[in-house]
Amino acid sequence: MTPKLTDPFERPISYLRVSVTDRCDFRCVYCMSENMTFLPKKELLTLEELDRMCSAFINLGVGKLRITGGEPLVRRDIMTFFNAMTRHLDSGALEELTLTTNGSQLERFADQLYAAGVRRVNISLDTLDEEKFARVTRWGRLPQVLRGIDAAQQAGLRVKINTVALKGFNEDELFALADWCAARDMDLTFIEVMPMGDLGNEDRVGQYWSLDDLADQLRQRFTLTDLPERTGGPARYVRLEETGQKIGLITPLTHNFCESCNRVRLTCTGELFMCLGQEDNADLRAPLRNHPDDDAPLEAAIRAAIARKPKGHDFDYSRQRADGQVSRHMSHTGG
């Protein structure tokens, strides 16, 4: 049997996040600038290469794949890739195939995703107000996303809403969002904004709303109980005792989660980032392309990369400076 992937700190690597495109039909203010330059198509892994890459990780023990981007569902023929991954679900080698999406294309794809074996989706939604939605996503339209969410639920997909907490933007919608998710039986997770990429004139520090502060606001109406469950990532969970609702808080900046980190991230060009907050990466595209009929060099490169996984990251917002800032965009690494 192939030995499983374990990093130098004895953390088993069981979770791969894969960005399948850097492109997107939205231009969220905290994620992209309005006039983004995207990668030339030849730089991207082809769908066949993505299949080989993910299959190599699965062969090395990765049991959970999350497909992201950019917007994964704007990649042409992306269902070919999802359908190819179904064989790993069927064999039992892959436990879970999920995606993170802005929801704009779900009306079209929800049924097909379910048929491919996807059972859960994370849908990003920062506001329930149509005008604010257009402002924060620049190009997005709320009714289209709401139809996508309906389609996902109708298809049988479990939906989790991801909301980026933005100072002065959605603070006033905290309870409205929580109530709306509870009424529709959807999980809700708030994400603290991270210092990623050069976004032109957007003021990142000004957008930062600490989730400790968000939790304090929740406490004004509810009794919060911290839940012990961990996912190996930056999320922690609280339960609102009065309603039983569980809310996730993703706080990479204010709470350290690195000890239990079980994940690595593959970009759409085949670079493997071993830590979301560090620049070090490994080129997996070269061993993949240079050896079209032999996966051994690719698997060796994956093992060598995991052996370099750092102990942790060093984002730091102290003194109102976005220290530890990482120059790449979230849409490149895959959020």
Query: Which of positions 95-114 make contact with ligand SF4 (CB under 6 A)?
Result: 102
| 3-state secondary structure (DSSP) of residue 283 | strand
Of the candidate residues 63, 70, 270, 287, the single one contacting ligand SF4 (CB under 6 A): 70
Segment contacting ligand SF4 by CB under 6 A, of 4-12, 27-35, 231-239, 250-258: 27-35
Q: Which residue is nearest to ligand SAM (CB)?
A: 335
- Gyration radius (Cα) of the chain, Å: 19
Of the candidate residues 21, 127, 162, 281, the single one contacting ligand SAM (CB under 6 A): 162
Query: Which of positions 112-141 make contact with ligand SF4 (CB under 6 A)?
Result: 124
**DSSP string over 87-131:** HHHHHTS--EEEEEE-STTHHHHHHHHHHHT--EEEEE---S-HH
If one asks whether residue 32 binds ligand SF4 (CB under 6 A), the answer comes out as yes
CB 211 within 8 A of CB 163: no
**DSSP string over 197-215:** S--TT--HHHHB--HHHHH
- 193: partner contacted, choices ligand SF4, ligand SAM, none (Cβ within 5-8 A by kind): ligand SAM
- 191: partner contacted, choices ligand SF4, ligand SAM, none (Cβ within 5-8 A by kind): ligand SAM
Q: Where are the beta strands (DSSP E) in the chain?
A: 15-19, 64-68, 96-101, 120-124, 158-165, 187-192, 224-227, 235-240, 246-250, 263-266, 271-273, 281-283
Please say which residue, 164 or 275, places its beta carbon nearer to ligand SAM: 164
- 188: partner contacted, choices ligand SAM, ligand SF4, none (Cβ within 5-8 A by kind): none
Please say which residue, 37 or 91, places its beta carbon nearer to ligand SAM: 37
Identify the residue whose tokens are 């690595």: 264
Of the candidate residues 7, 22, 71, 271, the single one contacting ligand SAM (CB under 6 A): 71
Quote the least distance from Cβ 199 to ligand SAM, whole Å. Answer: 8
CB 285 within 8 A of CB 301: no
Q: What angle do CA 308, 233, 5 make, to 5 degrees?
A: 40
CA distance 31 to 166: 12
Of the candidate residues 13, 57, 63, 69, the single one contacting ligand SAM (CB under 6 A): 69
List residues binding ligand SF4 (CB under 6 A).
Answer: 24, 26-28, 31-32, 69-71, 102, 124, 331
List residues binding ligand SAM (CB under 6 A).
Answer: 24, 30-31, 68-69, 71, 100-102, 124, 162, 164, 191, 193-194, 196, 330-331, 335
